[in-house]
Structure 1
Amino acid sequence: MMDPDAKEGGPLEEAGGAGAESGPCDGSAECGVASPFRWLRRLSRELHWSFVLAVFAVYGACQGVGNAVGVVAASYYSKDVLRLQPSAAQFYQGIVDSPWVVKPIWGLLTDVVPVAGYRRRPYFLLAGVIGATSMLMISLQSNLGLIPAVLALTAQSAGAAIADVTLDALVAQNSITHPPLAADMQSLCGFCSSFGSLIGYSISGLLVHSMGAQGALGLLSIPSALVFSAGILLKESRVTNFNYKQVHKKFYKAIRSTGTTLKCPEVWRPCLYIYVSLNLSLDIQGGMFYWYTDRLNGPGFSEEFIGVIYAVGAVGSLLGVVLYQSALKDYDFRSMLLWGQVLSSLTGMLDLALVTRLNTKVGIPDYVFAVIDCGVSVMVGKLQWMPVLVLCSKLCPPGIEGTFYALLMSIQNVGLLMSAWWGGLLLHTLNVTRSEFTNLWAVVLIRNVSRLLPLMLLFLVPQSDQNSTLLPAEMLHDDESTEAVKDGSGSVEFSVLVADGSGCHPSVEDVQDERIKVTDDVGGDVELIPLMNTNRTVG
């Protein structure tokens, strides 16, 4: 399982800007922090309590507590049960994380293919079933082989990815229908994920020590069960008269529009930088974990203390979010990414000092220095990650926001996957094994230097500040943009107008009448009417 701080931070960061000028609290996160109960009541009242429950289940329980426990438990499972070498553990970890690479597929399915008339609920149910059954299989099978174990862990990762992208779609949908609550939703998602991670890492070591790695992994069926429960309870409008024969056309249009958007220089240039920067930030955590827990050549940290180290890292992540929100969110992208890469390389030197035992020579014990190292490194990583999320949200054109954002997250996850594989290859090349760590210092040094290499491509990143618009004017909302108009009867009509043209704007072929009637649970009708404007030429 991938470290939650190494994956994307949830739904569109830029969604928060939509409601910055309305509501008594201006839709800001500070309002929610100042009065959390009023904040939650407002979300529950206007978006329904089942949506808030889904956020707690997916971000708090599954990605927060579950992912944190899974990171520690899976590391010990690979080391003590599967008996893998560090390089092999990182290779298989990349396979386990592969479902996050194909997030656009899950996004397209939940957007385009309703099941039994529902677009979100069935996918929450599917994610819960997959996650719970796969973790129960690992915990109940004492002699599970390598391949079945990897497949089970991959299935659990797929369940988490499906739940994540389904909730992202819900947040994006609610951000359109309730703009003043967009920032509150983003804050709720971020708080649940960070606080859940803090709890999960705090108890992960105790769980592994008392129940073993397999038993701790078996407990991950509980977050999956909560996701399943959220799918049952979610209030969602039901789609009727859906023409499943048109599904392949919808897939084709979405893929074609996404491909056209990627050809735009304002989009592919920063995407290339993000991918390269993640690719070259070599992941060597497998080797570091084995060294952490080695009692002969390393500090020999216990399971409980490993959990404490990661818990302090979760605190560092929270501090990074607070620091970014309070002081750094108005700086330009290029400056933020420049200093993010530099600080990432410099904080990596803390690992070098720990591995070479330089800390003991100045009188700092290993356990103190390891806690400081993790807290500072994760905080810097969060500061480096936040502007990347904002940048990605600003690259999403109207009409395909959810699918394109999922694609951008997949590009990042491919970069992270390649980073883990390159790191594993480096560990193997320099002969860092389960018991041999002589060259680990060289691995850490190479990792730190490689973090500076992406700066050569920094010119690909726009120099504009994080509040500015990055996409060309012809790709943005105008008078013919998506509208949500409510009438007195309680029904809502969405008119999606897609201009056909050339350039960077996604061109979409003419469609027939695709009117879909949606019956709301409380009796109101919602009509989705795609209207095509083919007379306008977009340059």
Structure 2
Amino acid sequence: MVVSTSSPSRLKQVLTEKVFFGNEPTPELLAILTVYFVQGILGLARLAVSFFLKDELGLTPAQVSALLGIVAIPWMVKPLFGFISDGFPILGYRRRPYLILSGLLGAVSWVMLATVVHSAWAATATIALSSLAIAVSDVIVDSLVVERARTETVQDSGSLQAICWGASALGGLITAYFSGFLLEKFDTHTVFLITASFPLIVSLIAGLISEPQAAQTSNWEQIRGQVTQLRGAIAQKAIWLPTAFLFLWQSTPTADSAFFFFTTNELGFSPEFLGRVRLVTSLASLLGIWMFQRFFRGVSFRQIFGWTTLISAALGMTMLLLVTHANRAIGIDDHWFSLGDSLVLTVMGQIAYMPVLVLAARLCPPGVEATLFALLMSVTNLASLLSYEFGAGLMHLLKVTESDFHNLWLLVVITNLSTLLPLPFLGWLPSQKDGEIVSSESSPEALPPSASAEVRPPVAVGELSDSQFVTVPPKES
């Protein structure tokens, strides 16, 4: 009997083509994917944090929404982390040491939350510390992905970003149900301690990142070069006009915090069921990624944002049925209605969010990938912060509290209609013609020299925007 010696190589080829979308599964790629995976798996503590703030610290919906804005601040200053990483190597390395430090910082923050935090201010500071750790690691791996994505062919465009986002979604999927299940078995402090172990994985795999030692140049010389490159890139309308649109799109008010209180205090949803909802939304995220890769990669930005915004706003109004309990009159149980609504809105939000970062990823000049990419993304993160703060203000004005939901229907109407406000500015987004992204305001020749030949069709980019507590999903309604 002859055993084929090509079986291992054949298996590797299949994995490369089917699982890694044509990217060779090198140790470094696996390390990058592990960081994104850990970002997703930290969702294990999301429900625990929600119940900790609501039940143990006694915060109101408006206070929780305001807190969410504050703890997202590290995502506002991501350019600072990219600037430090690009310009101030540690022992001659720009990426590995910062990954190690971010993992240690994340583990410490979750241990503190489990042991010494007993007030709203301490919780805000500690959760912000965890957010800081994730933001730093996110900047580092984003820069690595941007560097490698530049070498992709047009046919493979977006494949690396897609598997990075998929790794994060897979981490979220694995922990989705267990985030509620663990709360049925343990208290929030035990869940926080369990979560503390995952950031350490980032520190352990940092050594697999392949990078040469940084050139021995003056830090000030490096800084001047960065500032010059950044100034030239930011001045281009092809960058700041689409970024301005994304800011408007993400900054409309959200009612997420009010709905958490409504589903737990009014509808009586248990942590275990909320874990099921997270499982459904994680599956929906993967479905949205697949649908984008399969059907929408060639669709222009304007069409994707226009149609998904209209459809999501209309579907978001179905929440009025749940708020007014009209779903019960037509025979749909609260639990089933909530699951179905979460599924559809998450798919739409994911499809809309996938092309958001393609332009930024393609316009980052060599040497300042982390800084420019983080700068552009921090704009949308700032918008998300404002979204939670605007939502908190609306809850206060409408007197929506942890026990009074009489005006929740009006909050739903206002937040959904507000998502339509950016539509008149769709022209700020690039149009797509003949496989290129062409800005309506400038031609490819007007872009930075390093970017002119690099602009590709919309792709899936693995950026995590702010989130509840550690990472924030794309806006869904």
| TM-score of the two chains, using structure 1 as the length reference | 0.76
The CA distance in 1 between the partners of 2:409 and 2:307, in whole Å, is: 24
In the alignment, residue 290 of structure 1 is paired with which amino acid?
F
Q: Contact 1:330 / 1:466 at 8 angstroms: preserved in 2? A: no
- Aligned equivalents of 1:469 and 1:402: distance in 2? 22
Q: What letter corresponds to residue 76 of structure 2 in structure 1?
A: V
State the distance in 2 between where 1:101 and 1:437 align.
Answer: 32
2:255 paired with 1:284: yes
Q: Which moved more, 1:262-271 or 1:433-442?
A: 262-271
- Letter matched to residue 113 of structure 2: I
What residue is the counterpart of 1:111 in the other structure? 86
Size of the aligned set, in residue pairs, is 437
2:19 aligns with 36
The aligned runs of 1:373-412 (5 Å cut-off) are 373-396=341-364, 400-412=368-380
**Alpha-carbon distance in structure 2 between the residues aligned to 1:459 and 1:35:** 37
Structure 1 residues 253 and 32 mapped into 2: Cα distance closer, same or farther (>3 Å)?
A: same
Kindly provide the CA deviation profile for residues 341-366 of structure 1, in whole angstroms up to 9, marking residues without a partner as x: 10120121122221111211110100
Query: Which one has a bigger Cα radius of gyration?
Result: 1
The equivalent residue for 1:431 is: 399
Alignment of 1:48-197 (within 5 A): 49-56=27-34, 58-61=35-38, 63-66=39-42, 68-141=43-116, 144-176=118-150, 183-197=158-172
Q: What whole-Å deviation, never above 9, does each CA across 1:467-489 have from its counterpart, x for those lacking one?
A: 4133631435579999xxxxxxx
SS at match of 2:254: coil
State the AA in 2 paired with 1:82: L
Q: Which runs of 5+ in 1 are unaligned?
A: 1-29, 483-539
Distance 1:480 1:392 in 2: 13
State the Cα distance separating 1:32 from its structure 2 match.
5.3
Q: Could you say which residue in structure 1 is the equivalent of 2:313?
A: 345
Change (3 A) 1:313 1:339: same
- Name which of 182, 191, 208 aligns with 1:216: 191
Native 8 Å contact 2:239 2:359 kept in 1: no
Q: Which residue of 2 aligns with 1:453?
A: 421
Give the counterpart of 1:198 among 163, 169, 173.
173
Displacement after TM superposition at 1:253 (Å) = 3.3
Q: Is the 8 A contact 2:37 2:171 kept in 1?
A: yes
How far apart are the structure 1 equivalents of 2:294 and 2:53? Answer: 40
Deviation at 1:331, TM superposition (A): 1.4
CA, structure 1 residues 333+54, in 2 after alignment: closer, same or farther (shift >3 Å)? closer
| Distance (whole Å) between structure 1 residues aligned to residue 175 and residue 374 of structure 2 | 26
RMSD (Å), alpha carbons: 2.6
In the alignment, the residues of structure 2 paired with residue 466 and residue 64 of structure 1 have an alpha-carbon distance, to the nearest angstrom, of 35
Structure 1 residues 307 and 226, CA gap change in structure 2 (3 angstroms): same
8 Å contact from structure 2 (residues 254, 388) kept in 1: yes
TM-score by length of 2: 0.85
Change in CA separation of 1:466 and 1:451 when aligned onto 2, cut-off 3 Å: farther
Structural mapping, 1:448-487, within 5 Å: 448-465=416-433, 467-470=435-438, 472-477=444-449
Distance in 1 (CA, whole Å) between partners of 2:14 and 2:376 is 30
> Is 1:270–1:460's contact at 8 Å kept on the other side of the alignment?
yes
Which one-letter code corresponds to 1:372 in the other structure? G
> CA separation in 1, counterparts of 2:54 and 2:449?
52
Q: 1:330, 1:465 within 8 Å by CA — same for their partners in 2? A: no
Deviation string, structure 1 residues 92-122 (Cα, Å, up to 9, x no partner): 1111111111111111222221101221111
Tell me how far apart the structure 2 counterparts of residues 87 and 38 of structure 1 sit (CA, whole Å): 43
Higher relative contact order (CA 8 A, sep 6+): 2
Shift of 1:367: 0.4
What is the aligned partner in structure 1 of residue 333 from structure 2?
365
Q: Distance in 1 between matches of 2:66 and 2:260?
A: 15
CA distance in 1: counterparts of 2:444 and 2:410, whole angstroms: 45
Once residues 223 and 371 of structure 2 are traced to their aligned partners in structure 1, the CA distance between those partners, rounded to angstroms, is 11
The one-letter amino acid paired with 2:385 is L
For residue 303 of structure 2, what is the amino acid of its counterpart? S
SS at 1:372 equivalent: helix
Counterpart CA distance in 2 for 1:251 and 1:76 is 44
Percent identity of the aligned residues?
31
Q: CA offsets per residue over residues 61-108 of structure 1, 9 Å max, x none? A: 2x1111x22322221111112111101111111111111111111112
What is the distance in 1 between the residues matched to 2:37 and 2:416?
32
Say which SS state the counterpart of residue 387 (structure 1) adopts: coil
Structure-2 residue corresponding to 1:501: none
Q: What is the CA-CA distance between 1:336 and the residue it aligns to?
A: 1.2
2:327–2:334 Cα contact (<8 Å) kept:
yes
Is residue 313–residue 416 contact of structure 2 (8 Å, CA) maintained in 1? Answer: yes
Name the aligned partner's letter for residue 356 of structure 2: V
2:231 to 237, 241, 259: 259
Partner residue of 2:200 out of 210, 214, 225? 225
Q: Is 1:394–1:469's contact at 8 Å kept on the other side of the alignment?
A: no
